[in-house]
Structure 1
Amino acid sequence: MDISVVVPLYDEVESLPELTSWIARVMQENGFTYEVILVDDGSKDGSWDMIVKLKENNPFLRGIKFRRNYGKSAALNTGFEAAKGNVIITMDADLQDSPDEIPALYRRIVEDKYDLISGWKAKRYDPLSKTIPTKLFNAATRKMSGIPNLHDFNCGLKAYRSTVVKNIEVYGEMHRYIPVLAKWAGFVKIGEQIVEHRPRKYGKTKFGMARFVNGFLDLLSIFFVGKFGKRPMHFFGAMGVLSFLAGFIAMVWVIVEKQIIIYHNEKYHTHDQFRQVTEQPLFYIALVAVVIGFQLFLTGFVAELVARSASERNKYQVEEMI
């Protein structure tokens, strides 16, 4: 099979007939063998009933229905597991991604031998309140991920070689950073293609302002997991050793300073006032640093034991499949 089109959706009943017929027309015109996997992420507007109805007249459609809403990452990960095509195309269900882009994306993977091609919506139909934070996040992601050639990490329209999606795990809210996940997995031939961004035709966006906060936290998470996921002791251990040494040196300094003062008073028979060691704030700061350092070191040991072992992380309740 040439292409699997994976479409995560939530409450997009109005756009599904037009989207699926559009995809079918593009595939037929280009002679592709294909499947369309519609992943219903717990919709409440009748989207699943529409998928069942559309499948009656379109044997190339497949549907997966979640029992409840898990999020876009869960829908993509499940769609990736089910996909059978040599090239996997992902797109949103709101008709803002154009299926006419599929042939060009497919050729970039097959002919140009890319592992992943990410769409770049250079001209967007979104308000400034959305585009400005998006540009900031993309700039930060380029810097932290070491993928300088991508302008839009979060674009839903992407093409993947099948080996890529079968060897990465998309969980939490990590769908924004799939190119970063692919790079950490060893797929380094990542390219970009300018694609059309269409105005939303039906409904409204399902993502609020909270996605920007979540996006920043996910960026920190993906950076940490990618760099230290296989060796967490390198992070926690280093922090622990630094904290422990800083606290230990400060404690030694306080004690030595007290002994010097005592020696000076006894030698010169002076009666200078000095505080006890335990009366000095630096002593308690040093003690806290030593304790924190010890705890961080133990955290590193525990993290080494549990790293990458959450076997139930990507288990979702699928209610029905067709």
Structure 2
Amino acid sequence: MRNVRIARRGALLLVAAMVLGSGASAGAQSRPPQNILNVSYDPTRELYDDYNAVFARYWKAKTGQTVRVEQSNGGSGKQARAVIDGLQADVVTLGLAYDIDAIAQRTSLIPKTWQSRLPYNSTPYTSTIVLLVRQGNPKHVRDWDDLARPGISVITPNPKTSGGARWNFLAAWAYARSKRGGSDASARAFVTAIYKNVPVLDSGARGSTTTFTERGIGDVLIAWENDALLAVNKIGPGRFEIVRPSLSILAEPPVSLVDGVVDKKGTRRVAQAYLNYLYSPAGQ
């Protein structure tokens, strides 16, 4: 009888363990999907199309939960204002630290110490500014000086709304300032001469790329390197070429969690993981 009782007790424990185990598994599998919104600047569309899919697979394998990453792209300054005005971004991945600072200063959504929370001042990637010309370089554009020549049509976005445009401005300014006898006054005059050659100021970098590559306006586009490569390799193979100026700038676009939104939505864990994963080998 003792052996029978032990056997029956063991069977009951096994059944209980199976029931509890299946319940825990069902609970893990039934975690509801979460949606997060990444509010980003213009030229990151292709980057985050790829990254969002990679992260979603990683998160599903790690947690069993489905995450859907929604994407909003536009001029960096314009995107920052949208968040300030109420756009519910879980994360912001903008073109300039200045734009995230603006959110931190004008709202309580992001702490003013945001830049110290992730490696490299919250900058997971860098880029630079180059010049894109039409195939054969018919206007013989070699360096920044050529953009200030009479008769040259230059395409660049509006620095009031575009983070990329501000990097463009700073790169041209740095070039003028670096020349022998360069000063703030000479740099201002040089940049002013370039902007006098700009026929249209789009609100974002991608809009300027479209103006140059698809609308056929302008002799030279001041562009993020990745947008210039996109034009050369995908938009119009054989129609454009890249000119690398003698001096450019290291652009460091930063990222941040939007604390006030993720805490309200309950998405802090997945949104933080989304940013952390940018620094992983797979993310890079």
TM band (smaller chain): under 0.3
Q: Relative contact order, CA 8 A, sep 6+: which one is greater?
A: 2
Specify the structure having the higher radius of gyration (Cα). Answer: 1
Q: TM-score, normalised by structure 2?
A: 0.22
